[in-house]
Amino acid sequence: MLSSIVSFVDGSALNLWIVSAYWVWPILEIIHFFGLSLLFGGLLVIDLRLAGHFRRLDPTATHSLIPVVLAGFGLNLVTGVLFFFGDPLTYAYNAAFQLKMILIVVAGLNAALYYWKLSPQMHTWTAQTTPPLVAKVVGYTSLALWTTILLCGRLIPYVGEYLGTGN
């Protein structure tokens, strides 16, 4: 299935445009970094407060950062897809990229747990409320996942192919 996706993407009009225009890749890198800053910066405050740090902040006030985080994720999603279209052979079989994609799914499940379990009860929390254990686990898990996702992204140019590709 992966090879059919690569075959579809490689040589497509979007692939050829990204490869042929020398300015596209650097612009995508800048936008991706900006999106990462919004995403990780917002999550840093949200997750650390969720875990019980920044006690002076009202826990519900961190909800105002969620649109910033989602905007950052959206920028990274769009630019990430364009990176894949620009060099599908490098990304598709790269171990760091594959791990990054798996961890993004796990981070999404962690965010779903946040919305399902914590978000409904957070409106009753005050600055003095000690977060429950599940809040601490969700917060620290999110920080660990997104830090690892960031590191995997940086390792993509330096890590080889996944050994299970058969190539």
Q: What is the pLDDT of residues 41-87, one digit of tens each?
A: 999 999 999 998 988 888 878 888 999 999 999 999 999 999 999 99
Q: Rounded CA gap, 3 and 142, in Å?
A: 31
| The amino acid at 49 | R
Domain ranges of the chain: 2-165
| The amino acid at 58 | D
Residues 125/55, Cβ–Cβ less than 8 Å = no
- In tens, the pLDDT along 23-48 reads 999 999 999 999 999 999 999 999 99
Would you call 20 exposed, middle or buried from its count of C-beta atoms within 10 A (0-12, 13-18, 19+)? exposed
From 61, 67, 69, select the one nearest 125 (Cα to Cα): 61
If pLDDT is split at 50, 70 and 90, which confidence band does 162 have? Answer: low
Other beta carbons within 10 angstroms of residue 31's beta carbon come to 15
